[in-house]
Amino acid sequence: MNKKYIIAAAFLILGAVNQSCSNDFIDVSPTEAIPESALGEIYNNDEGANSLVTAIYAKFLDWNMSTFAWIGVTSIVSDDADKGSSASDSGSDKDILDALNFTAATPSFKELFASNYQGINRCNQALKYLPLLDKASPDLRKRLEGEAKFLRAFMYFTLVRSFGGVPLVDHISVTGVEADKIMALTRRSKEDIYAFIEKDLKEAAEVLPTKTGGERATKGAAHALLAKVYLYQKKWQLAVDESNLVTGYSLTANFQDIYKVSGENNAESIFEINGSGGTGGRAIQQYSQVQGARGTTGWGWGFATPTQGLYDAYSAGDTRRDATIIHRDMTLYDGYYVGPNTDNKFYNYKAYSSNYRDQASTDVNIRYLRYAEVLLIKAEAMNELGQTSSAIPFLNQVRQRAGIGGTTASSQADVRTAIWKERRLELAFEHDRWFDLVRTGQAAAAMAADGGKVFKVGTHELFPLPQDFIMEAGGLSQQNPGY
């Protein structure tokens, strides 16, 4: 998302994408629609068409979409992060997530569920109205439809990884239409959701442009996300095929440079959420502040602190360790000194903002898809296909950038373990670790090693659907097992 678009944040159209509706948990029935007169007077031009999709990107700046709940259910819940902060500050429910004691009433799941459907609603709005804007450039409208489909697929991927089957809301509901109410409240199978994601991404890839700086969704982003979607479904050959279509990218020589402002949307970046700092409404709301160092030399709340286990997983010569984890008595890349008396031992360096350290609105971006991950996806899929010797060079590209040389693993089983470890070290705090543990069957052992936490096999593979949604569904949707 180009930062110049964030300035307006596309909230010009939020009357049409109103988050208030009769259904609190799936925002698919907006109280207002864009009037037909407004289509002609306001939106029927290139700027108006663009604003419909910019509003989707703007959703990713919201607190309920990208900040406290998301950090909790992807980082704190995993073995990469502890709750952090102070013992007396529960962070609403972050202590519960950290201990794996969550239930259907745990607030973070309600935010995760609702925020993604709010974003999907914006996608559906854009896809409904873009074809009607006959005074906007046809090529622009086609590209924008591709962006909306990519973003809708991105959000459904978050939902299906988190909850399994969920309602498949593929158009704007009409108030009072029973079929639309049923659509919004009825779970579809995870297979249906994955098929819908694949369709959206294939259609997006056909019309999106090649890499142009990384600010918005591109053809490479659609292929990379589709490769990841196939990886999660163990469709190994398709994952390889899609990875091969991600071209024009390269690894950044210095790992830490990726996470500086100067490294935003660089040659390695495939898709990231952009935040401009200093002014509310342009940044990912308090993303950096929530995870910032806490104490006299700190600047934040101190949540989602890296675990000792994660720190120890890096070898001493791995350049990623000190680019991922802030520790006490450390001078950061901009010369800022983190003293010896911070409240917590470790903090997330990838969330650090140099320019707006002490402000709620910072210039931190979330890196969601990088070329390094595409190499690891390709390596994993090839190894599972029995092409182990051919997979190793892709794994080694990532390792060699980190300064740790090539892997000594050679058997399929050992290479599999090496790739899984590399994903942890490379992608720490990029919101994948919990889902990786679940999909690879490592979760029970990993959580036991993380302070003896109990991962309930047969239950914790999925998060609980929000209890309020289950009650509202009135029998149309059933809760996940064990909750």
- 299 and 155 together in one domain: no
Residues 13 and 89 in one domain: yes
Q: Which tokens in the block code for residue 325?
A: 């984890």
What is the CB neighbour count within 10 angstroms for residue 269?
Answer: 24
Q: With respect to residue 373, please indicate whether it lies within any of the assigned structural domains.
A: no
Tell me the CA end-to-end span of the chain in Å, nearest whole number: 37
Element (H, E) at 147: helix 138-163
CA distance 211 to 227: 17
Q: Which phi and psi (to 5°) does residue 150 adopt? A: -60, -50
Residue 154 lies in a domain: yes
DSSP 24-75: SSS--S-S----HHHIIIIISSHHHHHHHHHHHHHHTTSHHHHSHHHHIIII
Same domain for 301 and 173: no
The conformation of residue 164, written as its DSSP 8-state character, comes to S
201 and 286 both lie in a single domain: no
Number of domains, the chain: 2
Residue ending a domain, among 342, 364, 386, is 364
Q: Are strands 269-273 and 346-348 parallel, antiparallel or unpaired?
A: unpaired
Domain boundary among 329, 364, 399: 364
Domain that holds residue 13: 3-208+463-473
Together in a domain, 279 and 195: no
- Whether 262 is covered by a domain: the verdict is no
User: Is 19 part of any domain?
Assistant: yes
- Where would I find the beta strands (DSSP E) of 256-406? 269-273, 303-306, 325-327, 330-331, 337-338, 346-348, 366-370
- Are 203 and 282 in the same domain? no
Structure token digits, residue 318: 């791995």
Domain containing residue 167: CATH number: 1.25.40.890
Q: Judge if 202 and 281 occupy the same domain.
A: no
C-alpha distance from residue 212 to each of 61, 229, 272 (Å):
22, 23, 13
Residue 357 maps to a domain: yes
| Same domain, residue pair 282 and 359 | yes
Residues 75 and 185 in one domain: yes
Q: Which of 332, 364, 396 is the last residue of a domain?
A: 364
186 and 289 inside one domain: no
Same structural domain, 190 and 63:
yes
3-class state of residue 270 by DSSP: strand
Written as tens digits, the pLDDT of the chain (483 aa) is 443 333 333 333 433 333 333 345 554 443 345 666 666 678 899 999 999 999 999 999 999 999 999 999 999 999 999 999 999 999 999 999 999 999 999 999 999 999 999 999 999 999 999 999 999 999 999 999 999 999 999 999 999 999 999 999 999 999 899 999 999 999 999 999 999 999 999 999 999 999 765 579 999 999 999 999 999 999 999 999 999 999 999 999 999 999 999 999 999 999 999 988 888 888 999 999 999 999 999 999 999 999 999 999 999 999 999 999 999 999 999 999 999 999 999 999 999 999 999 899 999 999 999 999 999 999 999 999 999 999 999 999 999 999 999 999 999 999 999 999 999 999 999 999 999 999 999 999 999 999 999 999 999 999 999 999 999 999 999 999 999
In a domain, 351, yes or no: yes
Does residue 233 sit within a domain? no
Buried-state track 29-66, b at ≥16 Cβ within 10 A, e below 16? bbeebbeeebbeeebbbeebbbbbbbbbbbbbbbbbbb
Query: Are 23 and 165 in a shared domain?
Result: yes
Residue 309 lies in a domain: yes
Residue entry with tokens 């289950």? 470
